Amino acid sequence: MPVWDDPELVNGDPEDVKIKIPESVTPTSDSYVDVDSIFIEFDMTNVVDIALYRVVVSVKSESGCEYAEVSRDFLVRHDYFCVSFPPVCNITSISPSPAVKGETVFFNGTAIDPDTPVVAYNWTSSIDGHLSNSLNFSSSDLSVGIHTIYFSAQDYVMSCYDVWSEADSVTLIITEEAIINQNPVASISQIDFSSAVEGSPVTFDASASSDVDDDELEYRWDFNSDGTWDTGWSNTTTITNTWYDDWIGMITLEVSDGELTDSDTIDITVQNVAPTGTISGDVIDENGTATINGVISDPGINDTFDVTIEWGDGEHEIVSYPAGTTVFSKNHQYLDDDPSGTSSDDYTVTVTVTDDDGGVGTESSVVTVNNIAPEIISLSSPIDPIAVNEPITISSDFIDVGTLDTHTVSIDWGDSSVDAMELSVSSVSADQPTHSYLDAGVYRITVTVIDDDDGSDTKTSEQYVVVYDADAGFVTGGGWIYSPLDAYITDPTLTGKATFGFVSKYKKGAIVPTGNTEFQFQVADLTFKSTSYEWLVIAGSKAKYKGIGTINGEGEYTFMLSAIDADLTPSTDVDLFRMKIWNETAVIYDNQIEALEDADPTTAIGGGSIVIHQEK
């Protein structure tokens, strides 16, 4: 009985052991495989032929990874059993391959045996049969055709029984006559150079290349004359390339049939493409800052740019941008809308984009600049009554964001006279305008400022200008009171400043007094103006008179004004004022709503004065 006993095969704790044995070889019941060793006893009663029998044992770990495989070859006769490793054979070279009939072909091999010497070699051909018994040999007698060459060997044990090792094999082709490879011919077809512009693909065609041997050709290209191939080998005959800057140079094509090569060249000029641009406009107020946003388009992505901006107001700037720039944004301040005389003006902004190759693109847009009207921020006039023919002055300030604007100021003095002046500053008082009133009365002054673009603002003084005639007994007043709760009947909650100005007198020989009375309660939008007087009573420090007037220029309302001149009585150190306005149906205003009509006024004036003038 042949026995395989190998205590060194298994190390550790195998999970699975697989044993591959020939069908005619049966392990006996005494065989075993455990964690320490392998013992296999074979029953050879069914073995008839002298042959090599291979038994393979594979051991796997618990993780399932195979880490050991051991085989044994058993050479068996009827009366003899031995274990032997056969030689391992390799064909190391056959040259030349392929070869021409009659040409000497050299064969080389190796046969390695781990346990016994190699004593015999065997070379055979699938066409010519046995070739040689040498390890290395040559032959010039091979037949035309496709040969499968086999190489095997025997060690000392195997030679006793004429058993050969497993053979190595290689294919060898023998041809009738020598094949002489011809060079391929490379050819670049002419192209339409009008398409050779930066940023656009240019197509190259190598289909005119040829090979007389009808070998399959491969192609590669150099697109920038640097001696380095820009593509790998490919059997595609057409290819495109894009240049991202203008360029003059040579294109090289190389063609290969797998053994020989050929090349062709063609000169090319890649033209620059001028950049283009788009810009946005803007709408701003004078003295404001406009923003334009631009987009640069240039297929030459390697181009750099100079952007020139003409702002339309005589100013310009040049800005440089690096390659790859596609957008830009710039700001510019416009101090004025120009030309003068319009409420807004358009400035044409022109942007010129020049690339580093001299290509130029131009685009325009519009910035609209709106005029901003001046704003009167203050206007003051005399509060105290003024004698006829006595000059007065006013002060007024205004602002204008249009710092380049010039201004015309008109002053309506309220007595049908108007003065006008040109100002280079934003203050009317700087020129000290003066005016004298010829007649006694109550006047309001209106100032209008107009800039050189027809923007304007108008403001009327809150204070009345009261002008009196000292030659007659009469009452005059001008100033303001704080209007209390419940004074304005339509909305009793309204309170605030109310201004007044009045003159009331009897002319010589007249039975009805004359003059003018104005009263304004701004919060209530109430402006009262007298149209006629009915009577006037002056008694010491007190004056009272009655008349007719309008509210906001409309209707007919009765009014009664009561006043006390503090300079003529020790009972008060401040002038007192009352105003009552009513119509046929209801009271409109009364700053002493609960008092009788003949009651003395009790509301102190907040500013100004009331003067009762005695006849001389």
Q: What is the pLDDT of residues 252-268, one digit of tens each?
A: 999 999 889 999 999 99
Residue 5 pLDDT > 50: no
| pLDDT for 77 | 43
- The C-alpha atoms of residue 7 and residue 18 are separated, in whole angstroms, by 16
Cβ density class 433-452: b for 16+ within 10 Å, e for less: bebebeebbbbbbebbbbbb
**pLDDT classification of 109: cutoffs 50, 70, 90:** very high
CATH architecture of 193-270: Sandwich (2.60)
The DSSP bridge partners found for residue 168 are 151
| pLDDT for 4 | 43
Q: Please compute the mean of the pLDDT values over residues 520-535 and round it to a whole number.
A: 95
Lowest mean pLDDT among 100-109, 111-120, 461-470: 461-470
Residue type, 602: T
Lowest mean pLDDT among 13-17, 66-70, 99-103, 522-526: 13-17
Helix, strand, or coil (residue 469): coil
**pLDDT classification of 552: cutoffs 50, 70, 90:** very high
| pLDDT for 469 | 60
Which residue shows structure tokens 């039975």? 511
Residues 81 and 161: beta-carbon distance below 8 Å: no
What would the two tokens of residue 319 be?
């800005």
| pLDDT for 19 | 46
- Work out the percent of the chain whose per-residue pLDDT is above 70: 81
Fold agreement (88-175, 276-370): yes
Residue 328 pLDDT > 60: yes
Fold for the domain defined by 276-370: Immunoglobulin-like (2.60.40)
CATH superfamily name and code, 375-460: Immunoglobulins (2.60.40.10)
| pLDDT for 24 | 47
- The C-alpha atoms of residue 357 and residue 603 are separated, in whole angstroms, by 86
Residue 433 pLDDT > 90: no
Residues 363 and 293: beta-carbon distance below 8 Å: no
CB atoms within 10 A of CB 10: 19
> What are the backbone angles phi and psi of residue 158, rounded to the nearest 5°?
-65, -30
- The C-alpha atoms of residue 128 and residue 196 are separated, in whole angstroms, by 63
> What are the backbone angles phi and psi of residue 357, rounded to the nearest 5°?
-105, 5
What would the two tokens of residue 463 be?
């204070």
Residue from 186, 180, 179 nearest 261 by CA: 186
Give the start-to-end residue ranges of the domains of the chain.
3-78, 88-175, 193-270, 276-370, 375-460, 469-613
Task: Quote the Cα angle for 81-86-88, to 5°.
Answer: 170
CB atoms within 10 A of CB 83: 14
| pLDDT for 178 | 67
- The C-alpha atoms of residue 158 and residue 119 are separated, in whole angstroms, by 9
- Work out the percent of the chain whose per-residue pLDDT is above 90: 51
What would the two tokens of residue 432 be?
């000290």
Residue 21 pLDDT > 50: no
Residue type, 192: D
Q: Please compute the mean of the pLDDT values over residues 520-542 and round it to a whole number.
A: 90
Higher pLDDT, 145 or 62: 145
- The C-alpha atoms of residue 426 and residue 482 are separated, in whole angstroms, by 32
**DSSP code per residue over 134-152:** SSSEEES-PPSEEEEEEEE
Residue 45 pLDDT > 60: no
- The C-alpha atoms of residue 444 and residue 507 are separated, in whole angstroms, by 23
Q: Please compute the mean of the pLDDT values over residues 348-368 and round it to a whole number.
A: 92
Which residue shows structure tokens 């005389």? 341
Residue from 364, 571, 602, 603 nearest 482 by CA: 603
Residue 208 pLDDT > 60: yes
CATH superfamily name and code, 88-175: Immunoglobulins (2.60.40.10)
Most confident of 42-51, 352-361, 516-525: 516-525
Q: What pTM was computed for the model?
A: 0.51
Residues 327 and 369: beta-carbon distance below 8 Å: no
Say what the alpha-carbon torsion angle 324, 327, 333, 338 is, to the nearest 10 degrees.
120
**pLDDT classification of 13: cutoffs 50, 70, 90:** very low
